[in-house]
Amino acid sequence: MDRIAEVGLLLDLYGSLLTDKERNMLDLHYNYDLSFAEIADSAVWMICAR
Protein backbone atom coordinates (compact mmCIF):
# COMPACT_ATOMS: atom_id res chain seq x y z
CA MET A 1 0.00 0.00 0.00
CA ASP A 2 1.19 3.50 -0.83
CA ARG A 3 2.61 5.28 2.25
CA ILE A 4 0.36 8.34 1.87
CA ALA A 5 -2.74 6.16 1.46
CA GLU A 6 -1.71 4.17 4.53
CA VAL A 7 -1.30 7.32 6.63
CA GLY A 8 -4.65 8.60 5.35
CA LEU A 9 -6.34 5.38 6.40
CA LEU A 10 -4.70 5.54 9.85
CA LEU A 11 -5.77 9.17 10.24
CA ASP A 12 -9.36 8.22 9.35
CA LEU A 13 -9.31 5.50 11.98
CA TYR A 14 -7.30 7.13 14.77
CA GLY A 15 -7.40 10.84 13.97
CA SER A 16 -9.84 11.53 16.78
CA LEU A 17 -7.14 10.47 19.25
CA LEU A 18 -4.84 13.27 18.08
CA THR A 19 -4.92 16.83 19.28
CA ASP A 20 -6.06 19.53 16.84
CA LYS A 21 -2.45 20.68 16.50
CA GLU A 22 -1.21 17.15 15.67
CA ARG A 23 -4.01 16.59 13.15
CA ASN A 24 -3.31 19.95 11.52
CA MET A 25 0.42 19.19 11.27
CA LEU A 26 -0.21 15.83 9.60
CA ASP A 27 -2.77 17.42 7.26
CA LEU A 28 -0.22 20.03 6.18
CA HIS A 29 2.49 17.42 5.74
CA TYR A 30 0.55 14.81 3.77
CA ASN A 31 -2.21 16.77 2.02
CA TYR A 32 -0.31 19.97 1.24
CA ASP A 33 3.10 18.29 0.81
CA LEU A 34 4.91 20.59 3.25
CA SER A 35 8.03 19.41 5.02
CA PHE A 36 8.06 19.39 8.79
CA ALA A 37 10.65 22.20 8.66
CA GLU A 38 8.26 24.33 6.58
CA ILE A 39 5.44 23.63 9.03
CA ALA A 40 7.67 24.56 11.97
CA ASP A 41 8.72 27.80 10.23
CA SER A 42 5.10 28.78 9.63
CA ALA A 43 4.25 27.98 13.27
CA VAL A 44 7.03 30.30 14.45
CA TRP A 45 5.67 33.09 12.24
CA MET A 46 2.17 32.54 13.57
CA ILE A 47 3.43 32.80 17.17
CA CYS A 48 5.43 35.94 16.41
CA ALA A 49 2.44 37.58 14.71
CA ARG A 50 0.35 37.42 17.90
Query: Looking at residue 19, what is its pLDDT?
Result: 93
Angle at 46 between CA 43 and CA 50, to 5 degrees: 145
Q: Please answer whether residues 23 and 15 qualify as being in contact, where contact means their C-beta atoms are separated by less than 8 angstroms.
A: yes
40: left (phi over 0), alpha (psi -120 to 50) or beta: alpha
From first to last of its 50 residues, the chain has per-residue pLDDT tens of: 688 889 889 988 998 999 998 998 888 888 898 999 999 888 766 666 55
Nearest to 29 by CA among 16, 49, 11, 46: 11
Query: Looking at residue 18, what is its pLDDT?
Result: 94
Query: Looking at residue 8, what is its pLDDT?
Result: 85
Query: Looking at residue 30, what is its pLDDT?
Result: 86
Query: Looking at residue 48, what is its pLDDT?
Result: 66
Rounded (10°) angle between helices 36-48 and 20-31: 130
